[in-house]
Amino acid sequence: MEKRVSYYVSRKNPLAWLAALCLLASAVLRIVRAAGTPLRTAEVWLLVVLPVAACLHYVVILLLRGNDWFFRTAIPAAALAVYYGVKVTMHPMGVHLTFVFWLAYLAIAAFYAVTVSGRVRSTLPAALLLLASAGVLGWMHRGAFSPLQWQALAPVAPDLLFLLGGFFGLIAAHIYLDNKYHPTWGDRPDGRKLRTLDPMQVVGNYIMPNRGGAANVMRDSIEITNMERYIREKRRAGLTNFGITHVFLAAYVRTVAKYPAANRFLSGQQVYSRDDDIQFCMVIKTAMTTDAPESIVKLHLKPTDTSDVVYEKLNAGVQEIQGHDIGGSDFDKTAKALSLIPGVAFKFVIWLLKTIDYFGFLPKFLLEVSPFHSSIFFTSMGSLGIPPIVHHLYDFGNMPVFCAFGCKRHANELQEDGTVVRRKYIDYTFNCDERIVDGFYFAAGLKYLKKLLAHPEVLDNPPEVVNRDID
């Protein structure tokens, strides 16, 4: 992928506040002037509402999300370019000249967008372009400045101010020097878009649009003599609730450290990576009774987490839910609110949520409470005394992996010397969305996972190397 830089604006920068002041003044002056001028409905929307909304949008991004959303100031910049084009169109000056002005305004907006998205490694050229535009505008209305005539300056002042606001906003921007990835166009709140996938994978995402139809199932078993010994050692060390779930989860986290593509997901036919945010979900009882309702625990794990860290995070999540009254967790409150919607309207709400999620605009607080937006879901059949089921993948959300493991079972195995050895196993299944990685990658990752389950003691230490997914 082409290298880019990431710009940010700090609220502590006086130039950011100066830019915001210019843009707010532009919006206020435009409203004041429109209040005393008879305008048609189309003129109100295109010459007043559009530039005012663009200026306010710019200010909100600049002061509230300048650290991570500065690239989105390209949206109000494009709106202001359209405003200027409409303004020129309403003044008769010939089709050819109008076309030239439209082209110029859109070219400036495009160069601004390319700059703030990080394709240009300095904001100075774009800033000078806006300053030159303000200079040309001022020269065209130079009669209002010498001597100063407020009545003649009123029509041009809002335009001058938003150009100056954009200039100061660009000057206030700085480049991130932390060598970390920062969001840009196409990314989602819960993932980074992968832009260097091979063409076959891109095409396959459209041929298989649904997660259920793209699911592959893998069944396997693991001999648990070493695992049980490891669990006993952990319990003797004070981790009283340490069990098979913690070992499986810690092993999966370590697998993601080596095979980071396992932490991808697919949404809107595009593949994204959660990078070092491994989102784990599991159904738990709200109380240790047979008639207690169930809830969902959702954890944010890191590839560097050891088995002890996984134990602490999972136990804390379980205790938080079991410490609530029934229906007291965020997930339960959201589910209860949705259940109050009448049936037909509820179907529309779900369709609307799916559509918004398809384009990556689902609010972050909904992504956080949704168990359907996660890296992996675990379910244990051990407490039910049955083998592991093959759980389906949900077409709602973006969860690409579902793991189930069953109860312990014994097997008598014949050795080469003719003796029979009684061993203990656990069976498990993985249901995976094949669109996130190819079969060879999945196979390598699952073989590594099985190796970790057979020798869980390596999970006591963080990994020596954490691999990063592709761009």
The count of domains in the chain is 2
Query: Domain check: are 97 and 229 in the same one?
Result: no
Rounded to the nearest integer, the mean pLDDT of the chain is 91
Residue 466 in any domain: the answer is no
Q: Does 442 share its domain with 403?
A: yes
Confidence bin at 21 (pLDDT 50/70/90): very high
**Per-residue tokens: 108:** 């400036």
On whether both 165 and 206 belong to a single domain, the answer is: no
Determine, yes or no, domain membership for 184. no
Picking from 407, 409, 413, 412, the residue whose alpha carbon sits closest to that of residue 424 is 409
| 439 and 216 Cβ atoms separated by less than 8 Å | yes
Q: In which band, very low, low, confident or very high, does the pLDDT at 331 lie, cut at 50, 70 and 90?
A: confident
Confidence of residue 291 (pLDDT cuts 50, 70, 90): low
Contacting residues for 213 by C-beta, under 8 A, at least 6 apart: none
Last residue of a domain, one of 124, 144, 175: 175
Residue 327: pLDDT above 80? no
Provide the pLDDT for residue 150.
Answer: 64
Whether 395 and 256 map to the same domain: the answer is yes
Tell me, yes or no, whether 165 and 239 share the same domain. no
In this prediction, residue 148 carries a pLDDT of: 61
Q: Which helix (H) or strand (E) holds 458?
A: none
Rounded CA separation 15/70 (Å): 14
Last residue of a domain, one of 142, 175, 208: 175
Give per-residue pLDDT as tens, 122-150.
999 999 999 999 999 888 877 767 666 66
Q: Are residues 96 and 49 in the same domain?
A: yes
The answer to whether residue 324 scores a pLDDT higher than 80 is no
Predicted pLDDT of residue 1: 46
Split at pLDDT 50, 70, 90, the class of 272 is very high
For residue 157, the enclosing domain spans 7-175
pLDDT (tens digit per residue) in 332-391:
788 888 888 898 899 999 999 999 999 999 999 999 999 999 999 999 888 788 899 999
Residue 111 has pLDDT above 90, yes or no: yes
Q: Are 164 and 274 members of one domain?
A: no
Question: Is residue 41 domain-shared with residue 77, that is, in the same domain?
Answer: yes
**Amino acid type, 80:** L
Q: What per-residue confidence (pLDDT) applies to 191? A: 95
The per-residue pLDDT for 325 is 56
Query: For residue range 428-456, what is the model confidence (pLDDT) as tens digits?
Result: 999 999 999 988 899 999 999 999 999 99
Question: Residue 138 has what pLDDT?
Answer: 86
Establish if 183 belongs to a structural domain: no
- Average pLDDT on 323-339 reads 73
Does 366 lie in the same domain as 303? yes
pLDDT of 212: 85
pLDDT of res. 213: 86
